[in-house]
Every structure is written in structure tokens, then in C-alpha cells.
Amino acid sequence: MQPFRESIKAIDPDEYKKLMERYYPVMVEVQGGVFDMGCGNSLDPVREGDETLHKQEVSSFQMAKYETTWWQFAFSVTLLARILKRAPGSPGRTGG
């Protein structure tokens, strides 16, 4: 946890909970594994650009438990833009 979040949580746990629920989605773990991907039988003929049936491996990852709101999306994009502007060598950084 970042120091700023720890400070808010220590000062006002209820406000911290509200902020976390508003700004950060509830995440769930999606277990990785192997699955069959592509077209594999005569009922599903391979079309141009389709791949034949093959095994595909996916690593475990996290996904938002609930649909992301437009507000959360806009907040994330704005925050990322600000971070990138400060990054050394970033195209958005003046003189960088």
C-alpha cells in the first residue's frame, strides 16, 4: 500500500473505505490455464483469417468484479496522462 493511502486509512478508516470503493474497482483473480482456441470441426469450417484449433495458454490475471464506470475510466486516463507527462523522456514532458 502506498504511504498516502496508509495515511488516509489511519486518519479516517470510513473515508478511506469510501474512496477505495469509488476510485478503485473490486478485483477478482482469474485463474490461468490452457484452453482450445480456433476452429476445430466440420460444423465450424475454417474461414480466411481463422486459425485452426490449437492449445492456448493464459497466465492468471485480475479483472474488475463489476463493470467499470465511465467516471472510473476517465479518472484512470487522466491520472495516467499526468504520470506520463512527468516521466523522463515522455513525449508530453517539456524538454524531454
pLDDT at 62: 94
Q: Spell out, as residue ranges, where the chain has pLDDT lower than 70.
A: 1-2, 41-49, 87, 89-96
Angle between helices 13-23 and 3-11 (to 10 degrees): 130
Range of the domain at 79: 3-39+53-86
Q: Is residue 95 part of a domain?
A: no
pTM of the model: 0.50
How many domains are contained in the chain? 1
Q: Is residue 46 part of a domain?
A: no
Q: Is residue 48 part of a domain?
A: no
Cα 27 to Cα 89: distance, rounded to the nearest angstrom: 32
Q: Is residue 92 part of a domain?
A: no
Q: Is residue 44 part of a domain?
A: no
Cα 28 to Cα 68: distance, rounded to the nearest angstrom: 13
pLDDT at 78: 87
Q: Is residue 94 part of a domain?
A: no
76 in Cβ contact with 70 (< 8 Å): no
pLDDT at 34: 96
pLDDT at 16: 85
